[in-house]
């Protein structure tokens, strides 16, 4: 377990709280493992009717911990980040996300795999993979163009343009935008509604909604992962990570 992932089950809802504010909730391997285990535990627990994923006030997550990433790049299907991705993808109970502040990289792409997403008016989403010399992950190369069309997807995935909570609603990533203080209570109320619904029917309905795309999503995640892993070792990515650590803009002029 990671001290930076807090879990609790209250009134039928299993909450997974990302709690590493000093590093803007950047996700380490230990945190991915803890989240994968928390999701699996919530799936197993009969009393859990829905899951709630949240961050800290003003920060959902800044995505992969870049330092952890450079030191321990994900190796294959069994690496913590893939275990987390699979656990969320395979979760047969409803998952609600409550997002305040920045949701970057996998902070945005994980939302594509939640059933309900509530964002704050201060939310700032971004998928800056290309700017880091990487490629989109978690099937975002498939799902983002499908959700918002090729034109808007190019802004988000090729240019890495950040976007607001209101735009996330407009383009189908989020359900609703709310004042920051109301996001978590609202998300919890939505999750708690599943206490009054028949869990078997909810499970079957969710499975039916996901079945037509499941195989394709798995294939895309594998294809993205292969390129992502290769790109992590590229000279372009070395420049991107050095620039991050040196707190400067990367210089891709020499490539
Ligand atoms: N990985 C590792 N460390 C990170 C991080 C990440 N993804 N995001 C933030 N941090 C660290 C910073 O290095 C800094 O550490 P320090 O205090 O030891 O110097 C600390 O968290 C605070 O971050 P800072 O950038 O000073 O906060 P900010 O409020 O100015 O900006 C963000 C917040 C989220 C906009 C900014 O941190 C950011 O863009 N992070 C990188 C996000 C990213 O590219 N993620 C994609 C990964 S694939």
What domains can you pick out in the chain, each with its CATH number?
A: 1-181+198-255 (3.90.226.10)
Q: Which residue's alpha carbon is nearest to atom 15 within ligand 1?
A: 23
pLDDT band for position 87 (cuts 50, 70, 90): very high
* Sequence-separated (6 or more) residues with CB below 8 Å from residue 33: 2, 80, 83, 84
Q: What six digits make up the tokens of 8?
A: 């609790």
16 beta partners:
7, 53
| pLDDT number for residue 73 | 87
Instruction: Provide the whole-model pTM.
Output: 0.98
pLDDT band for position 74 (cuts 50, 70, 90): confident
Q: Kindly state the DSSP code that residue 64 receives in the 8-state scheme.
A: B
Q: Which atom belonging to ligand 1 lies closest to the Cα atom of 102? A: 34
Q: What is the distance between the alpha carbons of residues 92 and 64, in angstroms, rounded to a whole number? A: 25
Tell the residue number behind the tokens 């991705």, with chain if given.
85
| pLDDT single digits (tens) 117-158 | 999 999 999 999 999 999 999 999 999 999 999 999 999 999
Tell the residue number behind the tokens 């939310």, with chain if given.
123
Q: What six digits make up the tokens of 177?
A: 């935008």
Q: What six digits make up the tokens of 153?
A: 């997807």
Residues in the chain: 255
Q: Is 102 in the pocket of ligand 1 (CB under 6 A)?
A: yes
| Mutate which of 4, 21, 24, 122 for ligand 1 pocket (most atoms within 8 A of beta carbon) | 24
Q: Is 26 in the pocket of ligand 1 (CB under 6 A)?
A: yes
Q: Is 20 in the pocket of ligand 1 (CB under 6 A)?
A: no
Closest CA to 117 of 159, 167, 42, 154: 167
* Sequence-separated (6 or more) residues with CB below 8 Å from residue 246: none
Q: Is 67 in the pocket of ligand 1 (CB under 6 A)?
A: yes
Q: Kindly state the DSSP code that residue 122 receives in the 8-state scheme.
A: T
| pLDDT number for residue 75 | 81
């Amino acid at each position: 377990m990671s001290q930076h992932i807090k879990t609790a089950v209250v009134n039928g809802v299993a909450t997974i709280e990302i709690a590493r504010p000093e590093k803007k909730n950047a996700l380490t391997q230990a945190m991915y493992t803890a989240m994968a285990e928390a999701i699996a535990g919530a799936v197993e627990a009969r009393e859990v009717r829905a899951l709630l994923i949240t961050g800290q006030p003003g920060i959902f997550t800044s995505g992969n911990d870049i330092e952890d990433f450079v030191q321990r790049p994900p190796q294959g299907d069994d690496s913590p980040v893939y275990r987390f991705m699979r656990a969320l993808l395979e979760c047969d109970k409803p998952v609600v996300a409550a997002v305040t502040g920045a949701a970057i990289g996998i902070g945005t792409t994980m939302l594509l795999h939640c059933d309900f997403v509530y964002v704050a008016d201060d939310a700032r989403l971004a998928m800056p993979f290309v700017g880091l010399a990487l490629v989109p992950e978690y099937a975002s190369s498939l799902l983002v163009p499908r959700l918002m069309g090729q034109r808007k997807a190019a802004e988000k995935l090729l240019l890495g343009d950040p976007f607001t909570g209101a735009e996330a609603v407009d383009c189908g990533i989020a359900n609703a935008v709310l004042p920051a203080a109301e996001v978590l209570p609202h998300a919890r109320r939505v999750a708690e509604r599943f206490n009054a619904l028949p869990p078997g029917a909810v499970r079957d309905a969710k499975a039916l909604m996901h079945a037509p795309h499941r195989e394709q999503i798995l294939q895309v995640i594998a294809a993205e992962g292969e390129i992502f892993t290769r790109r992590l070792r590229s000279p372009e990515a070395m420049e991107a990570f050095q620039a991050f650590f040196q707190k400067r803009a990367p210089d891709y002029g020499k490539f």
